Structure 1
Amino acid sequence: MRRIAENNGVRVKAYSGTTGVLLAFNLKPEKRKNILGFAISREILSGRGTGRINWLQGILDFEGSTKGPGELVASNIAPIQKFRWSDYAVYPDTIYAYTIHPVYRSGTNIITANNRRTFLETGPRVEIMTQGFSSEDAIIFNRAVASSQAFSRRFTDLDEQIEKARKAGTLGTKTLPQNALDWLSRGMVERMEEFLNQAKDSRWAIDLAIYEYHLPRLHNAMVEAGKRGVKIRILYHSKKNDNASKENEHLLNTPVIPGAILFPRVTSAIMHNKFVVLSRISNNNNYRAEAVLAGSTNWTENGCYRQANVVHMTRTPGILENYAQMFNTLIQTREDKGATKRAINKNNLIPNSPERFGGFSPRSKFADIQAMAKIISSAKQDVLFATAFKLRSEITDALLGSANDAILRMGIQNSSSAKITGVHRDRTASFTAAALLPRGLEGWLRETTAKQKGSIRIHTKAIVVDVTSETPIIISGSHNFSGSASAKNDENYLIIRRDIDVADVYLCEILRIYDHYRFRFSAKEKRKAGLPTAPPVLAGDDSWTGVYFEEGSLKSLDRIRFSGL
């Protein structure tokens, strides 16, 4: 959902996701003089907390601030000096009203924390409803930022909590206390459980294709489904001398899922799928797919809680058929990867301009890579992405585009890449990698990934093209946009065109991940280069606006695209 409002020379365009609202601003030229930023008030118009009004907050303050490390400051005191801001303290299916107040300095003195001579003007008010989970597509991203100021503020005594839970016997196999895991999940695991719980009895079936099946909580949901008489088939990654395979087989039998039929996918590569087909069973034993759960999320503690991931549930008839047929194909060809590839080449042809398509691999001649690169290269306004690992060159080149073109390009990867990551020479492109503040900066709390297995923080595999237009395209799934994902691994992905609501969920969340890590990556790179990393402070005058109106700059294009000019 998108809404636009204008008043007093200020424009705001709001985009609503499931658990986030993006607000993009613009100013008329005559309103720039002496502006210090924006104060944003939010009123809850439905659901829990109806009638509550508060100021959105930020972590930056003016020079001379005495606020504590990690302490937030209300935007009417320390205004937002950006032309794009997001609110992630929202609930699904809830109506919010945002009023944008331009903040100006009084007089000619530079504003500091000790001299806050400012005044607010009334700007536009925009009402918008966050998305829920009852539509044809229901999408949820976990929070997953244990390496964040918010996590560090909320769980200041984490080590003590872990030790307390261990002594009380409530930690079990978990690496963090349950309240910390719940915060990181942000409802993702609960939605996965609810999806499985739709299968009420023996007239229902659950077909699961899974790479890593290691989370006891989701296994318990499958056990309970088996007890209800649900027909369950599980195809799982099985590779000789492979730790993930050993963990799969251990949990699948601890305890056994009543009535479940288990199919090991024998492969020398990776059975990298993570999808569920939920079906109704007719009286003559025919399966009719009712819903699919897909995305990038492995059934592990890291996948559900620590790594940035997405679960995408859909009820689109054509896609349901794609996934149901593919599951049966995988069962039939589970010991012959070549047969799987031949079946996909023949039966899962990629349309030239797919409106909604469920795609699979392995396939020949990198046909999926070519199709994805073509979609990215068709961008007319913007390209956003969140990816995990090294990309095949066709995808990398398409994401990079032409130097200084008119396409806004913003992306995040799990690790640094010489070609795709960093402050790129192109003034309209900015790419970054996951990073954290292990020592903190002055005024910032120390961040940590303690108790996380491995170093993967971004596991999402999503690309959104022309998201600020009326014809966005989304690519999302388990596919890593790599050569192995195309030619060797079992993968799945969705391509969805012209669905603004779906696009806006991905927009809000990719930008959340991007903005979170962008500053941290920059600070890390400066530290590596021996450059000073003093904490940023708010400008005491209107100089901060200059780069947003500098023709051809990244921030100027960001302002233009997102505010809908």
Structure 2
Amino acid sequence: MCRFAAANGPLSVVAICGCQATLLSFDVDETAGHLLDGLAGFAVSRTEEKKEEALAGGEAETVWFGDPRRGKWSEGEAAGTPTEEAVDEVELLEEPRALGGGWRRALRCAIQEFKWGDYTTKPNSRYRYTLYAIHGDPQVGIDSSPSGGPAKRGPGLHVAAQVELKVVTPAADDDHQVFFNRGVAGSQRFARLSMGTRESGPRSSEQWQWLSNGLEEALLGFIGRAHKGFELRCAFYEAHYPPVMRALAAAERRGASVQIVMDWKIASWSEDKKVWSQRGPQHLNYWALAESGLLNSGRVFHRTRPLAAISHNKFIILTEPDGKLSVWTGSTNITAGAIFGHSNVGHIIARPELCNKYVAYWERLTQDPEKKDLAQFNEELSPLPEEEESKWTELVFFSPRLRWADALSFMAQLILKARHSVAFTAAFGISREISPALLAAGSEGAGTPVPTYLLLESQGNWQASRDAVQALQRKRNVRVAFGTHMEVPPGKPQPQGGAWIPETLTGLNEHVRYVHTKILLIDMFSDEPIVVSGSGNFSRASMESNDENVVVVRGNTNLSDAYSVEFFRIFEHMRFRNHVQGIDKRVEVEPPGPQADALDEVMCRCGQAVAERTVKKAGPNVGRRFRCCANPQRLSCGFFAWIQPENAQAAPKEEAQEPWPRCCYSSASFLSLERQLFKDLRNGAKSTEPSRSGVPTQEEEGSSGDSFASADDGLLELWDLCGVSEGPVVSDVEQPEGLDLTEIRAAATEMLGINVKTKGSGKRLRESRDRLITCVRSMPDGPLREPLLERLHEMGSKLSARSQASWQPQLRQVVEMLS
């Protein structure tokens, strides 16, 4: 168990430990008014208890934590009112143990939150944390005791109460090991390490190690275990990071058998335009294999079918001479950008049942099967749990699948049946199959909304995703963080006196710059957490068309804790930058009370988030905003509602939030939901009975609450309304009955004929692009719709370049797919 708790009267603290990070949660009992009134924040000290120092009787090193976001973090500064000038969202304060060291700065910049992260711990180590409740007036100063530490009383900042907690960070697990890269290149720490971008010169090994955070070392170490008699069976989408490819070649020279299934969608040459139309990373994979000496080894299997999908796997199977298996999987492509750039996870599995399924799946991939044949095989190899298997603990899903909607519905059911919390990451927006469940997270489990955390690259590239994200942002039980960095200091000068240092990314990622993990965590701090992780993006394409693998583990608290602390590390990093840049203020949060019920009506009759539009046509209603079905008009369910009735008075502004810490005790705030989440963990009591709010649970209705097979008819009707088919996919090229592709092909051909060098070409390009995307979105759901939209979104990201060669290859692919 990696969870530890301690209390001293009304003050308590709990720690959730991962291998390289620890999440701390604080609490003050709401009945302790004497401690809550005047609470200025918390400070934390950490002492590492080393065995050799204990034997020698030496003094262990103590470091202090404060919130650098709340004040200048410089030596010798007079105490004053905290400012917003910051160094970073979390920083380790390593101060000398001399009088007036780090504790003064920790008190001056007291933490005004009920959770905090220590992201510098080491595996299998012992630490002693001390939590201090700080009282006093910062304008008066900082009171010190005669012995040199913080005072226990006084008009200035002083310690009103404290509690000590001893923890032991976990060692490597035998069945599951998890490795996250840093995933936050856009940070103050990396800005100090690099002080520039890659164009200013090569980076040092220290910079690369900081970005890797142990991910590269773990991957190379996994491959390095292979010697004579071992086998390495790989399945890669992108694999062109030279050190890893050379490591595979070195393993082969040591006598290991190395075989690779590689995404290999061949590019086509346009003689007229003199450009290559590239369908995947095949050209980069080719040169990486050639450079490492693996290209002509006869052990590379090309994955070429279907042409419209991608072989998106990123796993390695290690077989030892005695037959013992282990699998490296997760979201990490074999590229520099995946290891050092956007966030990723590597997950080592040593469970024989799961590993044997990976072997069977890999052997099938070597045959380069057609999609429908592989989908049928995957349904049999990795079935969804049946009703009698309601107490499953570990599952693996392989794609493509015939009944792909069932797999997504299974994920949605996990979200709906959450009892404590939901955490979700997405790199390409939220799919229409998952967004309704996130909007109603916990409705079938807790019976009331549960704290829901969303870590997103962006709102998404399609309107339905943007509408869903905006609807989620309005919900009081949801917090959303988008990937971003401080490219320019927000209204502050260059770094003087603790101002922001401009942050830069690595420049290694083109499409996904921040969030690339594919993680779903259900009830992460309970005794029955669920962890979902792998290569799949929780989308229709990931389950219906692409080669993917997804692992689902239930009841493994150590694994859940390892994922959770890393999730919050990146989530809080991005959320703070969202706050400083004003991104989190763009959508109004639903008000408390009866008005909240009205704003919960964010679903149309199609079962998806409604769209918000503005009347543009001249007339009495011009400028008025309304809600409608997000689908194209000919597919619309007809839902319509004015956002504000005509001639109605403006809604009163939401009451000002109570000051900290009382805002965390208000039943209407997200902070109170989050505080209760950690409070349940501190009490060590698992909530076996869901909260009652007039919503019957499935147990009350006589059905199992854990089995996918017992999903109620309402959700299945929801998928039908959303146009999600439960039937098998018949063919990759089958088109919906009655679909006329002439208009789409004409729009694409017209756009290809536009000369960007002529006057007004930019406007014509945008108009043609919009017309083309509108036509494709008007298509009913079918095998062509999503691949076409993917190509168009890729084209749109390059359209700003004034070179036709940059975006025409994607458009030509659209024409070829329509031919």
Same fold (TM over 0.5): yes
Per the alignment, residue 250 of structure 1 pairs with 287
Deviation at 1:113, TM superposition (A): 8.8
Q: Which amino acid aligns with 1:350?
A: L
Deviation at 1:54, TM superposition (A): 1.0
Distance across 2 between alignment mates of 1:420 and 1:114: 48
Q: Could you list the runs of 5+ residues in structure 2 that have no partner in the other structure?
A: 55-59, 72-79, 94-104, 144-155, 268-277, 461-465, 493-498, 589-657, 684-819
Deviation at 1:61, TM superposition (A): 2.8
Contact 1:428 1:552 (8 Å CA) reproduced:
no
Structure 1 pair 113/494, CA: closer, same or farther in 2 (3 Å)? farther
CA displacement 1:445-497 (0-9 Å, x = unmatched): 21122523314110000000001211000100001000100100000011000
Per the alignment, residue 38 of structure 2 pairs with 34
Per the alignment, residue 536 of structure 1 pairs with none
Contact 2:430 2:468 (8 Å CA) reproduced:
no
Contact 2:184 2:343 (8 Å CA) reproduced:
yes
SS in 2 for 1:254: helix
Per the alignment, residue 94 of structure 1 pairs with 125
Deviation at 1:431, TM superposition (A): 1.6
Deviation at 1:52, TM superposition (A): 1.4
Q: Which amino acid aligns with 1:178?
A: S
Per the alignment, residue 264 of structure 2 pairs with 238
Query: Number of residue pairs matched?
Result: 532
SS in 1 for 2:291: coil
Structure 1 pair 550/511, CA: closer, same or farther in 2 (3 Å)? same
Per the alignment, residue 234 of structure 2 pairs with 208
Distance across 2 between alignment mates of 1:262 and 1:4: 51
CA displacement 1:101-122 (0-9 Å, x = unmatched): 11111xxxx5349677111144
Contact 2:50 2:126 (8 Å CA) reproduced:
yes
Contact 2:429 2:459 (8 Å CA) reproduced:
no
Contact 1:289 1:320 (8 Å CA) reproduced:
no
Report 1:369-380 matches (<5 A): 369-380=408-419
Distance across 2 between alignment mates of 1:335 and 1:326: 11
Contact 1:69 1:445 (8 Å CA) reproduced:
no
Contact 1:214 1:247 (8 Å CA) reproduced:
yes
SS in 1 for 2:366: helix
Distance across 1 between alignment mates of 2:550 and 2:584: 38
Deviation at 1:13, TM superposition (A): 1.1
CA displacement 1:321-362 (0-9 Å, x = unmatched): 111111111113x14222211111222212144311121110
SS in 2 for 1:132: coil
SS in 2 for 1:506: helix
Q: Of 513, 516, 537, which aligns to 1:480? A: 537
Q: Of 293, 296, 301, which aligns to 2:331? A: 296
SS in 2 for 1:389: coil
Deviation at 1:134, TM superposition (A): 4.1
Q: Which amino acid aligns with 1:271?
A: S
SS in 1 for 2:234: strand
Deviation at 1:259, TM superposition (A): 5.1
CA displacement 1:115-150 (0-9 Å, x = unmatched): 771111442211222233343111011002111122
Query: In the alignment, does 2:453 pair up with 1:449?
Result: no
Report 1:226-375 matches (<5 A): 226-241=252-267, 242=278, 243-257=280-294, 261-267=299-305, 268=307, 269-281=309-321, 288-332=323-367, 334-352=368-386, 353=390, 354-366=392-404, 367-375=406-414
Structure 1 pair 386/501, CA: closer, same or farther in 2 (3 Å)? same
Per the alignment, residue 454 of structure 2 pairs with 411
Distance across 1 between alignment mates of 2:354 and 2:117: 32
Q: Could you list the runs of 5+ residues in structure 1 that have no partner in the other structure?
A: 166-175, 283-287, 532-541
Deviation at 1:317, TM superposition (A): 1.4
Deviation at 1:392, TM superposition (A): 2.5
Per the alignment, residue 467 of structure 1 pairs with 524
Contact 1:61 1:113 (8 Å CA) reproduced:
no
Report 1:366-445 matches (<5 A): 366=404, 367-401=406-440, 405-417=448-460, 418-421=466-469, 424-441=473-490, 442=492, 443-445=499-501
Distance across 1 between alignment mates of 2:11 and 2:221: 42
Per the alignment, residue 55 of structure 1 pairs with 64
SS in 2 for 1:495: strand
Contact 2:474 2:587 (8 Å CA) reproduced:
no
Per the alignment, residue 560 of structure 1 pairs with 676
SS in 2 for 1:346: helix
Distance across 2 between alignment mates of 1:69 and 1:329: 53
Distance across 1 between alignment mates of 2:334 and 2:140: 47
**Greater C-alpha Rg:** 2
Query: In the alignment, does 2:178 pair up with 1:152?
Result: no
Structure 1 pair 17/344, CA: closer, same or farther in 2 (3 Å)? same
Contact 2:141 2:157 (8 Å CA) reproduced:
no
Report 1:523-534 matches (<5 A): 523-525=580-582
Contact 1:12 1:100 (8 Å CA) reproduced:
yes
Deviation at 1:39, TM superposition (A): 0.8
Contact 1:295 1:476 (8 Å CA) reproduced:
yes
Structure 1 pair 155/69, CA: closer, same or farther in 2 (3 Å)? farther
Deviation at 1:428, TM superposition (A): 1.3
Deviation at 1:437, TM superposition (A): 1.4
Report 1:5-24 matches (<5 A): 5-24=6-25
CA displacement 1:154-180 (0-9 Å, x = unmatched): 333x34x86453xxxxxxxxxx44332
Between 25-34 and 420-429, the greater mean CA deviation after superposition:
420-429
SS in 2 for 1:147: coil
Query: In the alignment, does 2:85 pair up with 1:85?
Result: no
Distance across 1 between alignment mates of 2:327 and 2:292: 25
Structure 1 pair 113/250, CA: closer, same or farther in 2 (3 Å)? farther
Q: Which amino acid aligns with 2:293?
A: V
Distance across 1 between alignment mates of 2:290 and 2:427: 31
SS in 2 for 1:43: strand
SS in 2 for 1:552: coil
Contact 2:357 2:381 (8 Å CA) reproduced:
no
Per the alignment, residue 163 of structure 2 pairs with 124
Higher relative contact order (CA 8 A, sep 6+): 1
Q: Which amino acid aligns with 1:439?
A: V
Q: Which amino acid aligns with 2:123?
A: P
Deviation at 1:551, TM superposition (A): 0.8
Q: Which amino acid aligns with 1:274?
A: K
Per the alignment, residue 3 of structure 1 pairs with 4
Contact 1:231 1:260 (8 Å CA) reproduced:
no
Contact 1:193 1:221 (8 Å CA) reproduced:
yes
Distance across 2 between alignment mates of 1:49 and 1:552: 49
What's the Cα RMSD here?
2.6
Structure 1 pair 54/260, CA: closer, same or farther in 2 (3 Å)? farther
Contact 2:579 2:585 (8 Å CA) reproduced:
no
SS in 2 for 1:304: helix
Contact 2:231 2:319 (8 Å CA) reproduced:
yes
Contact 2:328 2:347 (8 Å CA) reproduced:
yes
Length-normalised TM-score, structure 1? 0.88
Q: Which amino acid aligns with 1:362?
A: P
Distance across 2 between alignment mates of 1:491 and 1:47: 45
Contact 2:178 2:345 (8 Å CA) reproduced:
yes
SS in 2 for 1:390: coil
Contact 1:310 1:460 (8 Å CA) reproduced:
yes
SS in 2 for 1:558: helix
Contact 1:12 1:26 (8 Å CA) reproduced:
yes
Percent identity of paired positions between Structure 1 and Structure 2 = 26
CA displacement 1:226-248 (0-9 Å, x = unmatched): 11010011001111213511111
Structure 1 pair 421/445, CA: closer, same or farther in 2 (3 Å)? farther
Distance across 1 between alignment mates of 2:185 and 2:254: 36
Structure 1 pair 65/498, CA: closer, same or farther in 2 (3 Å)? closer
